[in-house]
Chain A
Amino acid sequence: MRCWNCQSEVGAADVCPSCGKVQPVAPGTTLFDVLGLPRGVDVDKAELERRYRERSLRLHPDRAGKDDPRERRLSLERTALLNEAYKTLRDPEPRAFYLLKLHGLDLLKEEARAVTVPPSVLEEVLELREQLDGARKAGDDEQVSMLSDRVRVQSAAALSTARSALRRLEGNPSDAAARDAAAQALARLRYHHRFLEAAEASDEDEG
């Protein structure tokens, strides 16, 4: 890659080392690359925060490309991507979904339908939703928070399962069993999430 402004070699740098102009994002750049972090299930949170700040100072539209429309555009795109990387990798859960996406399965898109969740899991989720609705109608706050706690424990377990499967998958990208296990666990996690969102919504409605 050569700098669009001064033509010197820039490699994968976000800012040209010779003229300081913001560079376009190279194809195949991962969100880990965007933050300059090693790809993996585990991320050093303090390091992530530090790198996010350091890159923001370099790329943010308030700092870069004030006099050059093209650089301004690139600065906006780069900062948007940096913010996406920060949001995605900061917390273990979106990070796990993103890693699975890097392995070709995006559960946040239609591809999610390709994952079959065992009927027993679905039944349990439906059952819990019914109990939640009942507790809400009865105004039984204690029951709502008890159900939420139960789902929180289950979702923590699902996340932990997904993370160990993803570690195996990162070690061996052709490990189909690990990929399936990660997908199963994360699909379960999505159901838990919807449950918790619903429980929370009822919380807030009551003020």
Chain B
Amino acid sequence: MAGGLLQIHDPLKPRGHAVGIDLGTTNSLVAAVLQGTPRAFPVDEGGSLLLPSVVHYAADGSVTVGARARELAVTEPTSTIASVKRFMGKGPEDAETKALGAYRFAKGSSVVRFEVKGGPPVTSIEVSAEILRTLKRRAEAALTGKVEQAVITVPAYFDDAQRQATRDAGRLAGLEVLRLLNEPTAAALAYGLDKGSQGRFAVYDLGGGTFDISILELVEGVFQVKSTGGDSALGGDDFDREIATRFLEAHGVSHPDAAAVTELLAAARRAKETLTQLETTELSALGKTFGVRRAEMEAWIAPLLQRTGVACRRALKDAGITREELDGVILVGGSTRVPAVRRFVSQLFGKEPLGDIDPDQVVALGAAVQADLLTNRERQDEVLLLDVIPLSLGLETMGGVAEKLIPRNSAIPTAAAQGFTTFQDGQNALDVHVVQGERELVNDNRSLARFRLSGIPPMPAGMARVEVRFEVNADGILSVSAKELSTGVSQAITVKPTHGLTDEEIERMLLDSIEHAEEDVHVRLLREQQVEADRILHDARKQLAAFSDLLPDDERREVEAAIIRVAELRDSATDSQALADAIKALDDVSRPFVERIMNRAVGTLLEGRRVDEV
């Protein structure tokens, strides 16, 4: 277990840049601190700072990420994965999984696997890794240097399985994940450091697929998260779904196919965005139109906003403060652009929310600040972030009751232990079931892991004393160890989430992706040389035919031999270098010949004829 928590840093190893990544449900961003200021980088077509979190898998095995992939979703909905964040750490039989999108899931796995074109089914972790890999590459291009370390943000409300899945995706993308940072905390960090202020803040974060609320306090360089809450399945995408549902009702469509749903949701999203500026809009999809007024949309989403209000009141209560004691309310997430959301928030907290940092960028900027604080020794003394665990961690006890060991909103890192005993004579094993959540019964909470402590020496019932110890690190990730105290039999268990991947699976994927990366580079280089070979063969043959009078016989033999060599390797080479060498050889032997041709061309030009007429 200790091995999982310890990270041995080699101070001599040169490191690339450390970046902050907002891995969002709808869009993802990457940022870094440059000359003391956090900045987001262009990551998609047209210099956009937002990379749509959409991954398309083509039949030829190629992968496209971003706006281009989002366009492909309309024609190929099942091979284009959007909102993959909603599937992180989830099993294929989760109710929510089934309700989302038009995807086809591979059977026989505890992890969600999407059936896509061009290869075997992909897990949500692999899909997320594609997004991270793209961000990494684009950041490397912008920084003209390697990017190896990252702080990746997660919704504060993410449970252990979702956090582990995110961390694994980072590893798979070739990143050392310095820290998983809660999104609202990141936002507050971006604001807090900007203003150098002290005080209490509420961060209201409504993204595409998740809602988070955090209460934070900044005092004397310590940024302390007082409480968090939220809903990991509520966001702006639900607004789109409300609009789409009304459209279907209005037109009496009951069973739209996958492509229709995708098209309709895209139209609904545009309508929602238009209604942030205008009072009315009309959406057209499936060859039909549907008028929506802003007031109507506000009525449809009101119940969703009420749900966020419940979480906000609970967070204030958990933090032990009233709304009057807040110094500011920070808005995060694209969905807070909806005027009804802003109005709701200002009524809820009794003050106008702050909004001077772009709500789309603020999380990535804060993550970049944290990455800088963690890696830049000169900045170490500025701010320390003290975060909390979002959901209670516990164990199953008699009667299917969940006993909490670490209550929600405990500051991390944290640890707790619980004693158990055997209930049968000679019992040599004990089953331990780790759960996360606030409900009284195990079945109402999220099952994180089950394991068996074996090797308990035979003793009468009630004599064995087993201590189960939980440890949560600064990323909010749990490890568990168990020990039989009277004999010292101990067992360290790395908790692998029920719906996660094993370390072996991650390793294999990592190896696969490295192998494929090499293969891919190889194929690309060879393809480039083949194109180059075609070009040079075409030119050389044309020149031989047209200017044979400029070529002495001995030179001609050399050039022809070189041409044959290139032509052969053009079709047979598997090694791009061999072909490149042959191309260079042809280039070298034909240089005097080409120079003579150029001289004649210049002379011809002087005679008043154009080169292309030669």
Contacts and interface: CB of A to CB of B under 8 A. Distances in A.
Given A76-B413, A83-B413, A87-B411, A57 B419 contact: no
A53 B6 contact: no
B316 to A, nearest CB: 14
Top 4 A-B pairs, shortest CB-CB distance: A83-B411, A80-B415, A53-B222, A69-B6
Interface stretch (B166-174, B287-295, B325-333, B379-387): B379-387
Interface in B375-426: 380, 384-386, 410-416, 419
A110 B410 CA distance: 23
A86 interface: yes
A207 B307 contact: yes
Taking residues whose C-beta sits less than 8 angstroms from the other chain, chain B's interface range is 20 to 34
Contacts of A109: 419
Interface in B311-363: 314
A176 to B, nearest CB: 26
A73 B2 contact: yes
A79 interface: yes
A120 B387 CA distance: 44
Interface of B: 2, 5-9, 11, 219-222, 224, 306-307, 310, 314, 373-374, 380, 384-386, 410-416, 419, 440, 471, 473-474
A43 to B, nearest CB: 15
A67 B415 CA distance: 23
A56 B413 contact: no
B373 A62 contact: yes
A66 B9 contact: yes
B9 A86 contact: no
Contact of B386 (A56, A77, A204): A56
Nearest to A109: B419
Contacts of A81: 415
B222 A67 contact: no
Nearest to A207: B310
A33 interface: no
Contacts of B416: 84
A21 interface: no
A36 B410 CA distance: 20
A192 B559 CA distance: 97
A54 to B, nearest CB: 8
Contacts of B5: 73, 76
Contact of A63 (B8, B384, B471): B384
Nearest to B8: A69
A57 B413 contact: no
A204 to B, nearest CB: 7
A179 interface: no
A60 B384 contact: yes
B219 A83 contact: no
B414 A84 contact: yes
Contacts of B314: 204
A24 interface: no
A59 B473 CA distance: 14
B414 A80 contact: yes
B473 A76 contact: yes
Contacts of A56: 222, 384, 386
Nearest to A75: B413
B222 A79 contact: no
Contacts of A73: 2, 5-6
A106 to B, nearest CB: 10
Interface in A160-201: 201
23 contacts: A49-B219, A57-B222, A60-B384, A60-B474, A62-B373, A62-B374, A63-B380, A69-B6, A73-B2, A76-B5, A76-B413, A76-B471, A76-B473, A76-B474, A77-B415, A80-B413, A80-B415, A80-B471, A83-B414, A84-B415, A109-B419, A110-B419, A207-B310
A110 B9 CA distance: 43
A109 B6 CA distance: 32
A198 to B, nearest CB: 9
A54 B6 CA distance: 24
Nearest to A66: B9
A89 B405 CA distance: 17
Interface string A39-70: 00000000001000100110011110011010
A148 B411 CA distance: 29
A6 to B, nearest CB: 19
